[in-house]
Amino acid sequence: MVLATLGAVLNFALQLEERTSSWYATLLEHSNDENVQEISERLRKLSNGRIIVLKRLRSENVTEMILEPIYGLDSANYTIPENQIDDISNPLFKVTAEGIELCLKSFYKAAAKKIDFLSEVAYAFEDLADEVSENIESIQLLQ
């Protein structure tokens, strides 16, 4: 789907985050592995925090006079992997978690460039991309 409006971009970002949060929540619920629980809980909370940021952007950073069309952003380029794993030693855990966060990072970085006419939104997306980058680093450090 072409994301040509600010609302469509934010809506898609919310969908990505809701699926991310939901993936970590499911992991938290079904895993008995303490390490998995710890990291799932932390990453789920961070995702929920980003959902709050996105909703705030949607209501507080709409400047009607420069609601310009957005070109060159398509949701089809950003797909979240959703394998369900409850064992941190399963290599798929790291692959999936990293894949989710990489997808988010890639989207936020691309969207920030496309919404440069609303600098507050662009800055916020850059910050979100930075946060997700830190998540990726922490996932990569997992043994």
Q: How far is the CB of 75 from other proteins (least distance, A)?
A: 10
Q: How far is the CB of 72 from other proteins (least distance, A)?
A: 12
Q: Indicate whether 63 belongs to the interface with other proteins (CB under 8 A).
A: yes
Q: Indicate whether 72 belongs to the interface with other proteins (CB under 8 A).
A: no
Which of 32, 34, 65, 141 touches other proteins (CB under 8 A)? 65
Contacts of residue 39, Cβ cutoff 8 Å, sequence gap at least 6: 88, 97, 138, 139, 142
According to DSSP, residue 92 is labeled: H
Whole-Å CA distances, 132 to 22, 36, 71, 128, 143 = 16, 18, 24, 6, 19
Which of 28, 41, 49, 58 touches other proteins (CB under 8 A)? 58
Which of 26, 35, 48, 117 touches other proteins (CB under 8 A)? 117
Sign of CA dihedral 82, 83, 86, 92: negative
Which of 25, 28, 53, 62 touches other proteins (CB under 8 A)? 62
SS3 label, residue 32: coil
* Total of residues contacting other proteins (CB under 8 A): 22
Q: How far is the CB of 114 from other proteins (least distance, A)?
A: 11
According to DSSP, residue 118 is labeled: S
Q: Indicate whether 119 belongs to the interface with other proteins (CB under 8 A).
A: no
What tokens were used for 110?
């691309």
Interface of this chain with other proteins, residues 86 to 105, rule: CB under 8 A: none
Neighbours of 51 (CB within 10 A): 17
Binding site for other proteins (CB under 8 A): 1-8, 11, 58-60, 62-69, 71, 117
